[in-house]
Amino acid sequence: MQMLIFTGSAGGATATAAAATAAAAAAAGSRAMIASIGPSHSAGAMSNIGPSGAPQLIAPGLTLWSLDALDDLGALWGTLRVRTSLPGPPLSGEELPLIPGSDLFLAVARLRHFAASYDLICVDAGQHDGLLRALGVPDTFRWLLRLLIGLDRGPGRSSASQARALMPAALIPSDWIGTVQNARVQLEHLRSEVLDPAQTRVRYVLRPDRGGLGEALLALPALQLFGLSVEQLIIGPLLPEGHAALAPMLAEQRQVMADAAQVWGQLPLRRMDAAATPDDASGMAVIGAAIYAGGGPLPGPASQPPLRVIGQPDPHVAIDLPGLHREALGLTISGDELIVRVGPYRRHILMPEGLRGTAIRAARQGDTLIIRSRER
């Protein structure tokens, strides 16, 4: 199973691109799913199907699943209580708040059960800002636990962090500590599943105006900072040429397309023309065929991960940050973590052994940022 995550600026273009890609793949004989994880479920609206607990067949070889995050949160909570016997007063799933960004991880937990049934799953993840905030949740959880009780297992494990913790472990029930620590480790493992470049890649839908280009100049490198490989750009919705009344907008559109080709020339640039929202699978497939004219909708072979943490004998961190301006990049060291900032987005990266506790140096080689010890 291959998974494509569609994200971009605010608006319904990501849903259209995701649905059109899945429909085109199904029309070519693949088993495809459209998975909508946003609150508005624009992809579901194209087929007049709201949130549901299971995929629904909408055409031969094409199914649609719209995640109801609140229902799935309650089901996941019930399973967690049974498996771990969480201490404290009983809480029902209806009482739990929905943490911003949790839609992504709830969706991945469900998609794992469907993987064997599909060749391609196209995920409408909505606006890139929400996706990036979701990918940062495990880092926030790890930072909070390190501060409060230290980390005693999994990524970031450190006896020193337990000694510096604000809350002495002797004052906290050991079963509570174990449950919380295990939950953190599982959340990080779940993010690793989302980021696996062998199965998951991103197609970014670029809005063809200067604002959309400005957002993409930060969003694309930020997605790669979090380990998501941006495989293709889909530029749209594009206005038709030849209308004098639209001349200023068309000139801006052409300039954005030229700038995108210059900045991200190594990526395939697909066109998505402006069109009425399709209301059935055949309409989605028509749009998909136009987007992928001269090529297929399925992803190509996986490339190397955009974020690489390398251990001995040459410990270093390498991050592919295409198109990122130097002034938008920031680096900080905090304990064993390298904190990388791309504009408004920040990633905490656990450094490899051999790089921890040493002075570091950072250098750009083309679009790749490489962090090594100053001693090398």
Q: Please write the tens of the pLDDT for every residue from 273-321.
A: 999 888 888 999 999 999 999 888 999 888 889 999 999 899 999 999 9
Q: What is the pLDDT of residues 237-277, one digit of tens each?
A: 999 998 888 899 999 999 999 999 999 999 999 999 999 88
Among 232, 258, 291, identify where a domain stops.
291
CA distances to 22, 61, 374 from 30, rounded to whole Å, are 9, 7, 50
Among 265-274, 332-341, 349-358, the range of highest mean pLDDT: 265-274
Residue spans of beta strands (DSSP E) within the chain: 2-8, 32-36, 56-59, 62-66, 120-127, 200-206, 230-238, 269-273, 307-310, 316-320, 329-334, 337-342, 345-350, 360-365, 368-373
CA distance 376 to 372: 7
**Are 287 and 233 in the same domain?**
yes
Give the pLDDT score at 277.
85
**Are 280 and 202 in the same domain?**
yes
Start-to-end C-alpha separation, the chain = 41
CA distance 206 to 255: 13
132 or 93: whose pLDDT is higher? Answer: 132
Give the pLDDT score at 72.
55
Mean pLDDT of 88-105: 53
Residue 143: φ, ψ to 5°: -60, -45
**42-51, 133-142, 184-193, 353-362: range with lowest mean pLDDT:** 42-51
Give the pLDDT score at 321.
96
188 closest CA partner among 13, 365, 363, 348: 348
pLDDT higher than 50, residue 86: no
Give the pLDDT score at 48.
59
Task: For tokens 């989605």, name the residue.
Answer: 284
Give the pLDDT score at 259.
97
Mean pLDDT of 342-356: 91
Give the pLDDT score at 79.
46
Give the pLDDT score at 370.
96
Domain hosting residue 93, numbered range: 2-136+193-291
**Are 274 and 343 in the same domain?**
no
**Are 240 and 335 in the same domain?**
no
Query: The domain that contains 368 carries what CATH number?
Result: 2.60.40.790
Among 229, 261, 291, identify where a domain stops.
291
Among 76-80, 120-124, 146-150, 353-357, the range of highest mean pLDDT: 120-124
Give the pLDDT score at 358.
86
Q: Between helices 174-195 and 128-135, what is the axis angle to 10°?
A: 140
**Are 86 and 206 in the same domain?**
yes
- The secondary structure of residue 198, as a DSSP letter, is T
pLDDT higher than 50, residue 82: no
Mean pLDDT of 116-127: 90
Rounded to the nearest integer, the mean pLDDT of the chain is 84
131 closest CA partner among 30, 270, 8, 43: 8
366 backbone φψ class: left, alpha, beta (φ>0; ψ -120 to 50)? left
CA distance 229 to 319: 11
pLDDT higher than 90, residue 33: yes
**Are 96 and 129 in the same domain?**
yes
CA angle 132, 266, 20 (to 5 degrees): 60
Give the pLDDT score at 109.
66
**52-61, 97-106, 196-205, 358-367: range with lowest mean pLDDT:** 97-106
Query: The domain that contains 10 carries what CATH number?
Result: 3.40.50.300
1 or 338: whose pLDDT is higher? Answer: 338
pLDDT higher than 80, residue 45: no
- Report if residue 42 sits inside a domain: yes
Mean pLDDT of 106-111: 70
Give the pLDDT score at 80.
45
Give the pLDDT score at 347.
92
CA distance 181 to 142: 9
At a CB cut-off of 8 Å and minimum separation 6, what does 230 contact? 201, 202, 203, 204, 220, 223, 224, 267, 306, 322
**Are 200 and 277 in the same domain?**
yes
Give the pLDDT score at 99.
56
Number of domains in the chain: 2
pLDDT higher than 60, residue 81: no
**Are 6 and 42 in the same domain?**
yes
- Report if residue 16 sits inside a domain: yes
Task: For tokens 């469907």, name the residue.
Answer: 114
- Report if residue 167 sits inside a domain: no
